[in-house]
Amino acid sequence: MRVKFQFEIVILFTLLIASTGLPQGYVCAIGGGTEDYNSWSDDPYRWIVQKSDSGKIVVLSANTETSWIPDYFVSFGASQAVNLRINSRVVADLQSTYDQIISARAVFIKGGDQWNYINYWKGTKTEDAIKYVFINGGVVAGTSAGLAVLGSVDYTARLGSMISKEGLQNPLSSAIDLEDNFLNLVPGVIFDSHFIERGRFGRLIAFIYNCYYTRSINILGAGVDDRTAVCIEPDGIGTVMGSGALAVFQKDSLTVYQRDGNYISVNNLKCDQLTHGWKYDFTNRKIFYVPVTAKPVDTSRSPQYPMTDVWLSGQNNLTAVTTSAFDDFLNNVNTQRVAVIGNQGYFSHLETVSAYLAARSISCFVFPVNNSSVGSQDYADSLEESTAIVLLGDSLNVLMNLADTGKAAGIAFIRKIFRHKFPAFFFGNAGKTIGGNYVDKTDQNYLNSYRGLMTNNKGLAVFGDLIYQPLIFNNSDFYENRTSALLWGMMLNRKRLGIYLDDNDWIRIDHQKFTVVSSGPMPLMVVSAKNTTFVDSSVFVAGSGYKTRQVAAMNELRYFISNINKTYSIDSNSVITSADECGLLFPEPGSFKLCQNYPNPFNPSTVISFSLPSDDRAEIAIYNVTGQRVRLLVSTEMKAGMHEVSWDGRNDAGNSLPSGIYFYRMRTSTFNEVKKLIMIK
C-alpha cells in the first residue's frame, strides 16, 4: 500500500506541474542511421548529455542491446548510461521499471519497431515514467522507431511499414494506423524517420492528409533524414544537426485539400526543408533562424517557360511506354515524319522505336547521336524535314551534343524546338535533359547522393526552369538518390519547378497553356520553389574521396499532389481543380460565359475561353488601354457550347505589341462583357 501511495503522489505531482505550465523538458528526434565517434552523431548526442546536466541516461528498447550507445553517451560526459529492455506489458508496468527510468535525467528510445513500444508501454508505468522525466526538465530522445513515438500523433506501423507509393494512392487506407494517445511530447506534430533515404515524402503527406480527414487535426509533419536530428528546446525551437535535412510539411492558409472517395488533391502544401544549423519554431510553425551559410534567392529572376509541347514517360521500358504515353503523343502530333534520336550505344532501342512507327505506317528516320554525327549535314537536313521528335538513351551526356549550336544537326535540333515549336517525346531518363540542368548518376550506385557523387549537368533547356526525376518509386535501392536529386538540382540551379514521375506514369507539358498534365496510376507530383528566398545544403562528408551529402535546404517549398485532377498550372502555381472560374470541366448549360484568359499574365500566348447558350454570331477583340482595338480574334457564326481562341500578342498587322495591360471583349447579339489581361515579355 505504501508503494502504491507513493506512486500516486508522484503522478499527481507530475500532472500538477503539467497543468501549471512550468517549463518542461527537451526532445531530440533522430531520423535513424548508425552513430559513430567524430561523425554526424556527435553534436546531437552531446546535446542530449548537456541538456541532461551530464546526469544518468537510460536507453530503452524492446530488444537486447550492446553497451555501444551507453558508452557513447558516457564519452560525452554522462555520469551513467544503462540499457533497459522492456519487451512486455508486464515488464513495462513494474514499479522497478518506473523507478529505474525516473532516476535518469534523459531517456533515449532506440530504433526497432514502434508498434512494440506503443503496444508494450502505452498506459503503463513506463509511459508515466518517460513523461515524468520530460515534465521535470529532462530529455527524451528517440531514433528511428524511437523518433516515431515522440509526436502528438504517431504512425504505429502495426500493420507493417507503408511506402510512399501506397500512401499517395490511398492516404485514407486502413493500413495507415495512427495513435494519438501515447507520450504526446511535441504538440501538433507527427514525426517520420529515414526520410530521404527511404523516399518517405509521399507517406508523410498521406499521414497529415489522413489526420485532417479522420481526426480533424491540422498536424505538422516532420520528416527527419537518417543521420540527422532536430533538437527541440522547451520553448519549441528545434535546431537541425547532422548530415541531412528536416522537412516540415504543413497545411496553411494557401493549402487546399480535396477528396473524392480515395482520390485526393493536396494543393499548395507548404514545406520548409532545413539542414544543419537551421532552426524551426514548432510552436508557431515557422522557420526561426536561417544560418549565415544560407544564400538568398533572387525571386525576380526571369521565368523560363516550356518552349514546345513535351511528353515525358516515367520509365525506360519501350514496350510498356509505347502502348500508353507514346500512342498519346502520336495521336496528338503531326506524324508526317518523325525523328528518332538517341545516343549511338542505344542503337538497338532506336530501331525498336522505328519498327513500332513503321508498323503504324509512320515515316521516320533514325539519328544515332555522337560527337561526329551532330556535325552531319545529312542529319541536319533530315531534322529540318521532321514534324515531331522522339528522344531516348542511356548516356545523357552524349545526347547533350544536340545542344551544340556550332554543328549542323545541333543547329537544326535547336531550331526545330525553339523556333518552330515542334513537339517532342522523351523516353524515361532521357527526359531529364529537358531542363536547363539535370542531375545524373542517380541510378549507378545507391549511395551516390549520400557520398555526394551525383553530378549537375547542363540540359537542353526545352523547359529551362524544370528539374525532372522519373522512376521515383521504381527501385527502393535508389529512393534516396532520386528523391534528393530533384530538390538538390532545384536548389543548386535555382530552378522553380520539380516534377517526380513514377515508372508507369507519363506527363504532357503544354507550352501554350503552361500546364503539366499527368496520366497513370500515381498522382500528379509537383514541387514548386517559386517563393523560395533562401537555399542551403549539407556540409557533411561521408568519408575520404567523397563530396558533401547532396541534401538541400529550401524555405517555402510548395507540394502539389493530386489524383482527382492531374493538371498543374505553371503560371498560377496551382492544381487546376476546375478549368477556371467558368467551370470548363463542368460547364453550366444555357448561359453566356466569358472566362479569364489563361495563363494570365502570359508570354508568349494566352487562351480565351467562352460559352454560348445557343447558336449565335460572336466577336472576340483585343483593346489597348486607350480603348483602341488592336486585334480582332473572332467574328463569325458559332455553335452553342464552349469555345477557345488564342492570342499571341500581335496586332492585326502581325506586329508584336509591347508588354502591358490589355482588354478583351466578347460581344454577341445579346451579350457584351470585357475582361483585363496582362502581357509580359
Whether residue 604 is preceded by a cis peptide bond, meaning omega within 30 degrees of 0, is yes
Phi-psi label, residue 433: left if phi above 0, alpha if psi -120 to 50, beta otherwise: alpha
**How far apart are the C-alpha atoms of 171 and 164, rounded to whole Å?**
10
SS3 23: coil
* pLDDT number for residue 584: 39
**How far apart are the C-alpha atoms of 217 and 152, rounded to whole Å?**
10
CA end-to-end distance (rounded Å), the chain = 83
- Decide: 386 and 365 in contact? Cβ < 8 Å: yes
- Decide: 646 and 606 in contact? Cβ < 8 Å: yes
**How far apart are the C-alpha atoms of 625 and 479, rounded to whole Å?**
53
* pLDDT number for residue 524: 96
* pLDDT number for residue 577: 59
SS3 288: strand
Grid cell locating 291: 544560418
**How far apart are the C-alpha atoms of 224 and 29, rounded to whole Å?**
8
* pLDDT number for residue 323: 61
**How far apart are the C-alpha atoms of 592 and 671, rounded to whole Å?**
7
Strand partners, 319: none
**How far apart are the C-alpha atoms of 342 and 349, rounded to whole Å?**
8
SS3 491: helix
Which parts of 267-420 fold into alpha helices (H)? 318-322, 325-332, 347-359, 377-385, 396-399, 408-414
Taking alpha carbons only, the member of 436, 494, 51 closest to residue 234 is: 51
**How far apart are the C-alpha atoms of 67 and 122, rounded to whole Å?**
26
Strand partners, 440: 455
Give the residue ranges of the chain where pLDDT is below 70. Answer: 1-23, 320-323, 577-591
Taking alpha carbons only, the member of 510, 484, 609 closest to residue 568 is: 510
SS3 351: helix
Taking alpha carbons only, the member of 174, 142, 173, 177 closest to residue 157 is: 177
* pLDDT number for residue 258: 87
**How far apart are the C-alpha atoms of 433 and 362, rounded to whole Å?**
26
Element (H, E) at 451: helix 448-451
* pLDDT number for residue 321: 65
**How far apart are the C-alpha atoms of 148 and 221, rounded to whole Å?**
11
* pLDDT number for residue 42: 98
Query: Model pTM?
Result: 0.83
Q: Which domains does the chain have, with CATH numbers?
A: 23-294 (3.40.50.880), 593-679 (2.60.40.4070)
pLDDT digits (tens, 9 = 90+) for 114-171: 999 999 999 999 999 999 999 999 999 999 999 999 999 999 999 999 999 999 999 9
Grid cell locating 581: 472560374
* List of long-range contacts for 625-628, beta carbons under 8 Å, 24+ apart: 625/660, 625/661, 625/662, 625/663
* pLDDT number for residue 7: 46
Indicate the length of the chain as a whole number.
681
Element (H, E) at 390: strand 388-392
* pLDDT number for residue 322: 60
- Decide: 535 and 295 in contact? Cβ < 8 Å: yes
